[in-house]
Amino acid sequence: MNKKRDEVIGKLKGLIKTKMYSKGSRLPAERDLAASLGVSRSLLREAIITLEAWGILESVERQGIFVKTPNLADFTESIQFMPFWLEDLLPQVMEMRWILNVSAAELGAHRRTDEDLVKLETSVEKLKTGNCDTEAGQKESSYWEITLHNLYIASAHNLIMDRVNEGLSSLIERNTNLSNITFMSISDWFDVVVSQHEKLVQAIREQNARKAKAIMIQHLEDSIEKIENLSREGFFPFAYKRTLPK
Domain ranges for the chain, please list them. 2-67, 74-232
Q: Which residues pair with 67 in a beta bridge?
A: 57
Burial 59-84 (b: 16+ CB within 10 A, else e): beeeeebebbbeebeeebeebbeeee
Contacts of residues 55-64 at CB distance under 8 Å and 24 or more positions apart, as own/partner, are 55/154, 55/162, 55/163, 55/165, 55/166, 56/13, 56/16, 56/166, 57/12, 57/27, 59/115, 59/119, 61/113, 61/114, 61/115, 63/26, 64/26, 64/27, 64/29
One digit per residue, pLDDT tens: the chain, 246 residues?
577 888 888 888 888 777 677 778 888 888 899 998 899 988 898 888 888 877 788 888 778 888 886 554 433 444 444 444 455 667 877 888 899 999 999 999 999 999 999 999 999 999 988 777 777 777 788 889 889 999 999 999 998 898 888 777 766 666 555 566 667 667 678 889 999 999 999 999 999 999 999 999 999 999 888 888 878 887 766 677 788 777
Q: Which residues pair with 26 in a beta bridge?
A: 66
Is 27:67 a contact under the CB 8 Å cutoff? Answer: yes
**Superfamily, domain 74-232:** GntR ligand-binding domain-like (1.20.120.530)
pLDDT value of position 120: 96
Q: Residue 55: left if φ>0, alpha if ψ -120 to 50, beta else—which one?
A: left
What's the whole-model pTM score? 0.70
pLDDT value of position 87: 56
pLDDT value of position 170: 65
Residues 6 or more apart whose Cβ sits within 8 Å of residue 45 = 30, 122
Architecture of the domain delimited by 2-67: Orthogonal Bundle (1.10)
